Amino acid sequence: MTFLVTAAAAEPGAAPAYAWLLIGLPLLGAAILLLGGRKTDSFGPLLATGLSWASFVLALPLLFAMLGRAPEDRAVEHVLYSWIRAGSFQLDAGILIDPLSMSFVLLITFVGSLIHVYSLGYMKDDPGHVRHEGHTLSAWEESRQPSERRRFFAYLNLFIAAMLLLVLANSYPLLFVGWEGVGLASYLLIGFWNHNPAYATAANKAFIVNRVGDMGVIAAIMAMFAAFGATDFAGVGAAAAEADTGVLVLIGLLLLLGATGKSAQFPLQSWLGDAMAGPTPVSALIHAATMVTAGVYLIVRSAPIFNNAPTAQTAVAVIGAVTLLYGAVVGMAKDDIKKALAASTMSQIGYMMLAAGLGPAGYAYAIFHLLTHGFFKAGMFLGAGSVMHGMKDEVNMRRFGGLSTFMKITWITFGLGWLAILGVPPFSGFWSKDAIIETAFIGEGIRPWLLGGAALVGAGITAFYMSRLFFMTFHGKRRWSERDYHPHESPPTMTVPMMVLAAGSALLGLILAWPFAETKPIVAWLEPVVGYGGSEAEPVLAIPVIIALTLIFVAIGAFVAYRMYIQEDVPTTAPVGSWGTQAARADLYQEEVNRTLFEQPGVALVHGLEHTDRSGVDGTVGGLATWIGDLSSRLRRIQNGFARSYALTMLTGVVLFLGAVWVMQ
């Protein structure tokens, strides 16, 4: 808890008042592009890109100011305004800048801005409007169509703003605002080409699955409010120190539910594969580098809760281990290059979750892997986009092959990302993934063997499927004909961001885990926020043994892929494959499980309720109405329209009445 206490103690060091511009500038960009209409068509994309870079530039003085302070004074808070005031409860909306949020700000703004630049090239050829089948628009109609590019950049800026709000918030409710904001931006961008019904469905799916996780976050915030009476990070951190373990476990599990939704972790991972319906820069930015890692951020940010709730912490680690294997297995069978990368993302975030579930020893490595992954995975997604750009939007890897000679830059940048994700030293993935595997082997009993073993096997499978992807795309025989495809290198707006990200993939790990320093720089950097990162306990295996084992697994995986996909020819139509391949191709029957466990009972429940409503509630009300209706139509016959018969009725009535009176007397 010391770290949050220090965060509170650092209160006097308020963040500069302009810090909110980090969020404000991209938000302004989104507003201008969305509200400005066609006037902004010409300069809108450039403006959005500029504002995204401005946000990055603005973060730099904050970073330098932070580096200039002593490690324990680095967390600064800037209160924007008093947000919620109800009785004794008071919540300020504020910006918390500490090494953790700063790491994210730099990742988001830097990678985000690069992807803005990339999108300038990638979206250039996107039709400026929705083309309806068999309907050619006249020139006038075409000029009236809303610009799709402007909309795209507006959403990208909206995403940057929401993501920055998520990581800069100083309380869970404000974090949740950003959390929902990125969900919205993700939804809008997955369904960007929503004239294709399948893509629109994919967007809905992502949104709905995320809702399940969001419920977890909301419930967690409510539980915090009920248990601690506070929902800001400092207050929750202070209260968590002496809170009941049961409450903390509950809150931890609810937060984990939220994290599984946003980060596509088991069992809420099904949306990520379909989310590849969005344009490729979106997949790179939102569904690889930044948004999907928000779950990891949430767990690490909630360290005070998880540190005192070992059960919840173990649950995080187990979810991470399960997902890293799950994603890896699915990734082995996918032929769609983007879906294979999505499965890989799922698996890599599994590594981060595993690290985050290992407690203070793992938090820094979770963030470390998150940062390096943000670079190499974004780089590879952009590479995939570049390949698609040159191959007429083909995504089936069985139709690629031998592209290395046609797209030299894409090949090299992708290759660096590939080496990084494999964990080949000295590329960045080696440093971050290896640290996680080592930490997973710390512990007592069977736990380190299971978690560490999963991480180790996962590394081997990762090597296999990423090599498969790389070889199928860039090496081997050409499985496309010159007649149909004219592969070509992408324009510089696309290749330059790829080169920058490739440089990050190659070097970032080495820099952040500088092996000659006493403590790894990333650990020292994050220590004031997440606690001591260096492990006192030794892993159950010696560290050199772990490294050697990892490299052996990786080498085996890569070698098998080499034998299968370079030495042997790849069939252009997917072979039926074993039951394992079929299961992996079908996402391990996730859809079927969801359908059987949730959709069908849900539909049955709705049908049951509808039937109860119709026959029970409506039956009672309707029956009463029918009965009264019958009665009235019978009574109606009395009204025959003959005045004399009415008179007779009256007379009879009067006579009967008088007779009755007379009898009574």
Partner 1 sequence: MSLVNYIYLSAILFSIGGAVVLLRRNAIIVFMGVELMLNAANLAFITFARMHGQLDGQVIALFVMVVASAEVVVGLAIIMAIFRSRRSASIDNANLLKA
CA geometry: angle at 58 spanning 37 and 501, to 5°?
A: 85
Q: CB-based contacts of 500: which residues, under 8 Å, 6+ apart?
A: 114
- Report the residue from 70, 86, 576, 643 that binds partner 1 according to the rule CB under 8 A: 643
Site for partner 1 contains 639 (CB under 8 A): yes
Nearer to partner 1, 81 or 642 (CB): 642
CA distance linking residue 462 with residue 437, whole number of Å:
14
Smallest gap from residue 661 Cβ to partner 1 (A): 17
Query: Segment near partner 1 (CB under 8 A), from 298-306, 415-423, 515-523, 634-642?
Result: 634-642
Spatial contact of 94 and 79, defined as CB atoms under 8 Å apart = yes
Cβ atoms 347, 458 nearer than 8 A: yes
> For residues 517 and 647, which CB has a smaller minimum distance to partner 1 in the complex?
647
Q: How far is the CB of 627 from partner 1 (least distance, A)?
A: 18
Report the alpha-carbon distance of residue 553 to residue 448 in Å, rounded.
Answer: 18
Nearer to partner 1, 17 or 648 (CB): 648
Beta carbon nearer to partner 1, 64 or 642:
642
Minimum separation from the CB atom of position 630 to partner 1 (A) = 14
Q: Which of 651, 656, 658, 660 binds partner 1 (CB under 8 A)?
A: 651
With binding defined as CB under 8 A, does residue 641 bind partner 1? yes
Cis peptide before 12 (omega within 30 of 0): no
Q: Which of 132, 135, 483, 644 binds partner 1 (CB under 8 A)?
A: 644
Verify binding: residue 132, partner 1, rule CB under 8 A.
Answer: no
CB of 652 to partner 1, least distance (A): 10
Q: Binding residues for partner 1, how many (CB under 8 A)?
A: 12
d(CA 563, CA 486): 28
The interface with partner 1 within residues 540-569 (CB under 8 A) comprises: none
- Name residue 651's amino acid: L
Distance from chain centroid for Cα 604:
30
Contact predicate 356/320, CB 8 Å:
yes
Judged by CB under 8 A, which of 481, 573, 640, 665 binds partner 1? 640
Radius of gyration of the chain (CA): 31
The residue (of 405 and 649) whose beta carbon lies closer to partner 1 is 649
Q: Which residues contact 20 (CB under 8 A, 6 or more apart)?
A: 78, 80, 95
Interacting positions 427-446 with partner 1 (CB under 8 A): none
Binding test (CB under 8 A) with partner 1, winner from 642, 663, 664, 665 = 642
CB-wise, 35 or 643, nearer to partner 1?
643
Residue 617 vs 647, nearer CB to partner 1: 647
Q: Is 628 in the site for partner 1 (CB under 8 A)?
A: no
Query: Residue 665 interacts with partner 1 (CB under 8 A)?
Result: no
The one segment of 98-106, 363-371, 527-535, 647-655 that binds partner 1 by CB under 8 A: 647-655
Give the nearest distance from C-beta 638 to partner 1 in angstroms: 8
With binding defined as CB under 8 A, does residue 636 bind partner 1?
A: yes
Question: Does 631 sit near partner 1 (CB under 8 A)?
Answer: no
61 within 8 A of 19, measured Cβ to Cβ: no
Answer for the pair 353, 265: CB distance below 8 angstroms, yes or no: yes
**Closer residue to partner 1 in complex, CB, 226/651:** 651
By CB under 8 A, tell whether 661 contacts partner 1: no
Binding range to partner 1, per CB under 8 A, among 42-50, 121-129, 400-408, 632-640: 632-640
Closest CA to 119 of 54, 57, 44: 44
The tokens of 127 are what? 């039709």
- Alpha-carbon distance values, 383 to 119, 286, 339 (Å): 12, 16, 14
Query: Residue with structure tokens 């001591």?
Result: 532
Distance of closest approach, residue 641 Cβ to partner 1, in angstroms: 3
The stretch among 58-66, 164-172, 244-252, 633-641 that binds partner 1 (CB under 8 A) is: 633-641
**Sequence-ordered list of residues with C-beta below 8 angstroms from that of 164, at least 6 positions apart, any chain:** 22, 23, 26, 55, 105, 108, 109, 178
How far apart are CB 215 and partner 1 at their closest, in Å? 57
Select from 240-248, 605-613, 630-638, 656-664 the region that touches partner 1 (CB under 8 A).
630-638
Closest CA to 292 of 219, 362, 233, 343: 343
Residue 366: CB atoms within 10 Å: 31
In the Cβ-directed half-sphere of 466, how many Cα atoms lie within 13 Å? 32
Report the nearest approach of partner 1 to the CB of residue 635 (Å): 8
Smallest gap from Cβ 622 to partner 1, in A, equals 23
Q: Answer for the pair 316, 352: CB distance below 8 angstroms, yes or no.
A: no
The correct pick among 647, 656, 658, 660 for binding partner 1 (CB under 8 A) is 647
Nearer residue to partner 1 within complex by CB, 483 or 634: 634
CB burial of residue 640 (10 Å; 0-12, 13-18, 19+): exposed
The answer to whether 648 contacts partner 1 (rule: CB under 8 A) is yes
**CB 636 to partner 1: min, Å:** 4
Beta carbon nearer to partner 1, 132 or 644: 644
Amino acid at 40: T
Gap between the Cα atoms of 436 and 324, Å rounded: 12
Choice between 579 and 662, CB closer to partner 1: 662
CA dihedral (386, 390, 393, 394) in degrees, to 10, reads -100
Taking the C-alpha atoms of residue 187 and residue 269, their distance in angstroms, rounded to an integer, is: 15
Q: Residue 301 and residue 295: Cα distance in Å, rounded?
A: 10
Q: Smaller CB distance to partner 1: residue 132 or 637? A: 637
Is the bond preceding 45 in cis, omega lying within 30 degrees of 0?
no
**Nearer CB in complex with partner 1: 552/650:** 650
The distance of closest approach from Cβ of residue 637 to partner 1 in the complex, given in angstroms and rounded to an integer, is 7
When asked if residue 483 is in the footprint of partner 1 (CB under 8 A), the reply is no
State which residue, 571 or 641, has the beta carbon closest to partner 1. 641
Cite the DSSP H helix spans in 229-336. 233-241, 245-262, 270-274, 280-284, 294-301, 303-307, 310-333
To partner 1, the closest distance from the beta carbon of 650 in angstroms equals 10
Contact 272, 330 (CB under 8 A): no
655 C-beta neighbours (distance < 10 Å), count: 10
* Beta carbon of residue 655, minimum distance to partner 1 (angstroms, whole number): 10
- 637 is an interface residue for partner 1 by CB under 8 A: yes
Binding site for partner 1 (CB under 8 A): 636-644, 647-648, 651
